[in-house]
């Protein structure tokens, strides 16, 4: 008799945990939040997601100006259409019923290799650091063009990317080979477990993206049943990074991607062990983002098994205000770096490394009935 042989582990999302203030407090102005990726140094530990609603040439240039890094999707509308903007407008104004078929149609146009080079050069010409994203399946085809055009960072990304992809019909991308071919930093993802993250690190790549399922526009949980809440995923992959560093002396940063709704979640990402965060839906709210207040995930236009929803947000901030304030709203979507420094201050952490040592608790952010009622009244 062996009933319920499997015991299942509890996993936690950012909404399930909270940070505990420290025994000392620190002046927020004296906290350090820098982020290093290979030889590149960033004052702002934030990447903008490789989604069409967030990153185009102008956005990438602006993001570099503010010390962060934007990732351009090389398989999105920007490389399929000379004038991508008109199709972004089309998507933003489509009805809910029509938007998925419309996206399936728009993304079925072939990628134009000349546009790949053009977009990269435009970012470089504008003074930006240029990161581009390719799926594993198209990496071998597109990376040489990107190298030639001068990309600074290569992101290889799909819903789930593992160190070893098994297929009889095609020879999969081998990251240790890619590492030989490309000299710029390579970021690979997404993964969510200790072992998968460690396996990717052992291929020699530069950094790892963490997150399967939590994004605002993602429906992997509903469609595939797959996903790990981000607090647990980040803690597990951070443990892999620390163990790998202890064993090899090489430090492979991890970047939390998805599930971040507000400044509080950014703070929790770093407290869970992230070296940087990748932001999608929050970035769509900036005036610089080309999405016109709509966004959607990379798997949303999939021809056979679309996963995701188009999400609409208010475009009520600038990129500068979103990153550095001053905030004019109190929901935590503006002055994200100010929030991070303040949170580090009240938790007594000078550096992001110290911030990882603070206590966290399981404390679901479900509001009390009274709180909700009062707020609802406040809205009327």
Site for a copy of itself in 132-161 (CB under 8 A): 159-161
Q: Does 370 bind a copy of itself (CB under 8 A)?
A: yes
Q: Which of 153, 184, 212, 279 binds a copy of itself (CB under 8 A)?
A: 212
Residues 16-35 touching a copy of itself, rule: CB under 8 A, are 17-27, 29-30
Give the shortest CB-1-to-a copy of itself separation in angstroms.
7
Residues 263-322, interacting with a copy of itself (CB under 8 A)? 263-268, 271, 281, 294, 300, 303-314
How far is it, in rounded angstroms, from Cα 207 to Cα 156?
Answer: 11
What 3-state class would DSSP assign to 104? helix
Q: Is 177 one of the binding residues for a copy of itself (CB under 8 A)?
A: no
Answer whether the bond into residue 188 is a cis peptide, omega within 30°. no
Q: Please, what is the minimum distance in Å from the beta carbon of residue 314 to a copy of itself?
A: 8
Q: Is 4 in the site for a copy of itself (CB under 8 A)?
A: yes
Q: How far is the CB of 112 from a copy of itself (least distance, A)?
A: 24
Out of 77, 173, 205, 327, point to the residue binding a copy of itself (CB under 8 A).
327
Distance between CA atoms of residues 204 and 206, nearest Å:
7
Q: Classify residue 295 as exposed, middle or buried by CB count within 10 Å of its CB (0-12, 13-18, 19+).
A: buried
> With CB under 8 A as the contact rule, which of the stretches 116-124, 145-153, 201-209, 325-333 interacts with a copy of itself?
325-333
Binding pattern to a copy of itself, positions 32-61, x when CB under 8 A? ------------------------------
- 122/311 with CB nearer a copy of itself: 311
Nearest residue to 163 (alpha-carbon basis) of 225, 205, 108: 205
Q: How many residues make up the chain in this entry?
A: 380
Cβ atoms of 120 and 150 closer than 8 Å = yes
Task: State the minimum distance, in angstroms, from the CB of residue 252 to a copy of itself.
Answer: 16
- Of 53 and 145, nearer to a copy of itself (C-beta) is 53
39, 170, 171, 249: residue in contact with a copy of itself (rule CB under 8 A): 170
Alpha carbons 345 and 362: distance in angstroms, whole number: 21
> Does residue 294 contact residue 310 with C-beta atoms inside 8 Å?
yes
The stretch among 118-126, 175-183, 202-210, 333-341 that binds a copy of itself (CB under 8 A) is 333-341
Q: Within the chain, what is the greatest distance between any pair of CA atoms?
A: 69
Query: Is 276 strand, coil or helix?
Result: strand
The one segment of 35-43, 56-64, 72-80, 369-377 that binds a copy of itself by CB under 8 A: 369-377
Cβ(35)–Cβ(45) below 8 Å = yes
Cβ-contact 184, 153 below 8 angstroms: yes
Determine which residue in the list 185, 213, 253, 291 makes contact with a copy of itself, applying CB under 8 A: 213
Closest CB 288 distance from a copy of itself, rounded Å: 19
Q: Does 73 bind a copy of itself (CB under 8 A)?
A: no
* Cis bond upstream, residue 177 (ω within 30): no
Residue 82 or 359: which CB sits closer to a copy of itself? 359
Among residues 165, 174, 204, 315, the one that binds a copy of itself under rule CB under 8 A: 165
**Residue pair 156/191 in contact by the 8 Å Cβ criterion:** no
Whole-number Å distance between alpha carbons of 380 and 364: 26
Q: Token pair 């956005």 is at which residue?
A: 59
Options 185, 227, 253, 291; binder of a copy of itself; rule CB under 8 A: 227
Q: 244 is written with which tokens?
A: 């790998």
Task: Give the single-character DSSP code of 7.
Answer: P
């Amino acid at each position: 008799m062996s009933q319920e042989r499997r015991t299942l582990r509890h996993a936690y999302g950012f909404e399930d945990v909270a940070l505990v203030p420290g025994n000392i407090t620190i002046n927020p102005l004296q906290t350090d939040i820098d982020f290093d990726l290979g030889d590149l140094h960033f004052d702002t530990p934030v990447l903008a997601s490789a989604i069409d609603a967030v990153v185009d040439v102008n956005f990438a240039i602006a993001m570099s100006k503010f010390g962060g890094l934007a990732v351009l999707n090389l398989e999105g509308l920007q490389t399929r259409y000379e004038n991508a903007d008109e199709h972004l407008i089309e998507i933003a104004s489509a009805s809910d019923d029509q938007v998925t078929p419309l996206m399936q149609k728009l993304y079925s146009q072939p990628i134009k290799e000349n546009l790949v080079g053009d977009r990269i050069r435009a970012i470089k010409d504008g003074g930006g650091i240029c990161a581009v994203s390719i799926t594993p399946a198209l990496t071998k085809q597109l990376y040489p063009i990107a190298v030639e055009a001068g990309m600074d960072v290569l992101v290889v990304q799909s819903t789930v990317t593992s160190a070893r992809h098994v297929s009889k019909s095609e020879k999969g991308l081998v990251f240790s080979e890619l590492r030989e071919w490309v000299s710029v930093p390579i970021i690979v993802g997404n993964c969510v477990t200790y072992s998968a993250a460690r396996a990717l690190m052992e291929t020699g790549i530069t950094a790892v993206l963490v997150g399967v399922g939590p994004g605002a526009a993602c429906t992997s949980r509903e469609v595939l049943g797959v996903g790990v809440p981000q607090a647990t995923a980040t803690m597990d992959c951070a443990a892999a990074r620390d163990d790998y560093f202890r064993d090899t002396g090489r430090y492979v940063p991890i970047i939390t991607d998805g599930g971040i709704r507000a400044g509080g979640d950014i703070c929790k990402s770093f407290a869970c062990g992230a070296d940087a965060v990748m932001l999608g839906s929050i970035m769509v709210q900036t005036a610089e983002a080309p999405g016109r207040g709509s966004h959607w995930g990379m798997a949303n236009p999939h021809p056979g098994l679309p996963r995701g929803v188009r999400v609409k947000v208010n475009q009520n901030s600038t990129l500068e205000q979103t990153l550095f304030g001053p905030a004019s709203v109190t929901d935590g979507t503006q002055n994200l770096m100010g929030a991070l420094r303040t949170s580090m201050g009240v938790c007594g952490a000078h550096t992001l490394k110290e911030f990882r040592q603070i206590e966290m608790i399981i404390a679901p952010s479900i509001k009390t009935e009274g709180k909700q009622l009062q707020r609802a009244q406040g809205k009327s």
